[in-house]
Each structure stands twice: as structure tokens, then as C-alpha cells.
Amino acid sequence: MSVTLLVVEDKDKTLESICSVIKPLGFEVTVARDGLDGLSKAKQTYFDIVLLDHKMPVMDGLSLLKNLRDLDAYHRTPLLFMSTQDLVEIEPKALKAGATQCLAKPLNEDFLLDTLKSWAVRFVA
């Protein structure tokens, strides 16, 4: 069984970088360009892990976190929140909104891989 990952990110360069980094993991990756698109895709298909950005058009990451946690299927799903904002400031808000873990952008590629592997083993294996 392959791990399904939803990546919600509006910046092309960041999205390309994330997808190239995680490609060796063999995850089935679906991309959404904003929070509303991400929520729509999450309602249509269950994803094992969701990696989402903070600042996006239409619906930001904090709103997306809250909306995903309101869905029965996503009560225990790892929701990994990415932000360029200082994590000391944004992390408490993200955790309160439903984030499982917060990641600082720009992302450290090795840390991202280790984090995704760790969550995949815990929740999907």
C-alpha cells in the first residue's frame, strides 16, 4: 500500500522543490494550489498525510487546519503545517487550529524527508 500525501502550496518554486524531494519516498502525491482546493480534494479522497502552507490565497493554512479537523476522517491524520513566519509566534496558533507538527520554511530537505517517513510509519504502516 502506498502512502497518499496531499501537498497544499501556492508557490510554484516551493511546490516543485517539495515534490522533487519527496519523489524517492514513492508516495502518491496530490497537489492543491490553495486552502479551498485542498479542502475540496480532502473531502473527495482521504489522504494519509497532509502537508500544507500557512499563507495562501482563498483560504489560509490556519483555516484549512480547522476545516480538516472538523471532518471525521481527519481527526487523527498528520497535518504538517509549513510557515515562513517565526515558529515561536505561529506554532501555538497552528497547533490550536489542529496542526500535528509545524515546519519552518524554507524547508530543510533532510528534515522534511525524515518527518514524512516518521509520520508514514506511525500512521500508515
pLDDT class of 2 with cuts at 50, 70, 90: confident
pLDDT class of 124 with cuts at 50, 70, 90: low
Residue 125 has pLDDT above 80, yes or no: no
Q: Which pLDDT tens digit goes with each residue over 65-101?
A: 999 999 999 999 999 999 999 999 999 999 999 999 9
Tell me the average pLDDT of the chain.
94
Q: Where are the domains of the chain?
A: 4-120
The answer to pTM > 0.85 is: yes
Closest CA to 8 of 44, 50, 40: 50
Beta strand pairing status for 101-104 and 4-8?
unpaired
- What single DSSP character describes residue 78? -
* Distances 110 to 22, 28, 114 between C-alpha atoms, Å: 10, 19, 6
Cα–Cα distance, 11 to 67 (Å, whole number): 22
What CATH number matches the domain at 4-120, 3.40.50.2000, 3.40.50.2300, 3.30.1600.10, 3.30.1300.10?
3.40.50.2300
